[in-house]
Amino acid sequence: MTSLAVAFLADTLIGDPRWLPHPVRLFGAVASCVDRFRKRVGFDIALGILLALGLPAGVTCGSYAGLAWLRERDPRAAFAAEAFALYTCLAARSMAKYARAVEGALRAGDLPAARQAVGRIVGRQTAELDGAGVARAAVESVAESSVDGVLSPLFWAAVGVAWGVAAPAALAFKAVSTLDSMVGYRTGGYARFGWASARLDDLANWIPARLSIPLIAIASALTGHRPFAALRVGLRDGGRHPSPNAARSEAAFAGALGVALGGPMLRRGEVDDRPVLGAEGGVPAADTIRSSVDLMWVTSFLGLLCALAAHAALSS
């Protein structure tokens, strides 16, 4: 069994327990430190570029050197370390857990709890959302996480196999993704500082986001949903978004599940007027969240199979 398969199995079984050390916390600490420094001295664009390029480069070099050192001394320890590093790059179990919490609150009729639960996985303001708005936000987050939380790390790990840097490549992607989530905003004080991080994240997710549409369509067929609608809506509406990637999987999920996603939302006190994806679809509900989680799991497993096939081809 490859380290990538072990990593996927570990994420499926245990997710991301709080007591376990996680590199994202280190990435976040570095980003916060640089952010505080630039607020004192300025140079937003220069420091933003330095952070966007320097953190992934440092992560790549550091993890490669550490794994190489381990391989010379204990190959089994190196395998375990590589599997652990890859495991920390995956987030399917965590997203499923948070989404199911939203679903449970909606089923219980506890809208305040549902708003609070969905607020943990979305960047928009949730205090005024109705039940459908809460469900829509949760499904969109599950759809987007299918790419940046699973398919993209798997993709970059598979690409890295060719140069013997599967784990470093996946960790570098995780660093890029973390920076985008922390500073990659188009508004406020981060428009200049976070520009480079946001653009690098766009580049890193470009191919996986587009590969997600056929994978979601296949997963739709396997889970009893609407594969042809997933393809049609994914290809039709996937480009209708300020981000070049975010709507690809969301549109495919909208088609697969037969619901409308997207639309205007309130983010950081400002209205973000986004287009509706799958406008012909119905209104999301608690059942839609459960279906979206099932769809994410099957899509993730298909992504793993593709990554393992690429691993075998590149290793031979």
Give the percent of the chain with pLDDT over 70.
Answer: 97
Q: Is pLDDT at 163 greater than 60 in this prediction?
A: yes
* 73-87 pLDDT tens trace: 999 999 999 999 999
Residue 270's SS3 state is strand
Delimit the domains of the chain by residue range: 3-315
Q: Which amino acid is at 199?
A: R
Residue 270, pLDDT score: 62
Q: Which amino acid is at 185?
A: Y
Contact 126, 118 (CB under 8 A): yes
Average pLDDT (148-154) is 97
Kindly report the average pLDDT of the chain as a whole number: 93
Average pLDDT (41-60) is 94
- From CA 251, how far away is CA 206, in angstroms rounded? 15
The residues with which 270 forms a beta bridge, in sequence order, are 267
DSSP tag of 62: H
User: Residue 24's Cα: distance from chain center in Å?
Assistant: 13
In angstroms and rounded to an integer, the radius of gyration of the C-alpha atoms of the chain is: 19
Neighbours of 18 (CB within 10 A): 5
* Phi, psi values for residue 261, rounded to 5°: -120, 175
Average pLDDT (16-33) is 90
Written in H, E and C, the secondary structure of 138-168 is: HHHHHHHHHHHHHHHHHHHHHHHHCCCCHHH
Residue 73, pLDDT score: 95
Q: Is pLDDT at 1 greater than 60 in this prediction?
A: no
Residue 187's SS3 state is coil
The DSSP H or E segment spanning 21 is none
Question: In degrees to the nearest 10, what's the CA dihedral of 75, 80, 84, 85?
Answer: 0
Contact 59, 89 (CB under 8 A): no
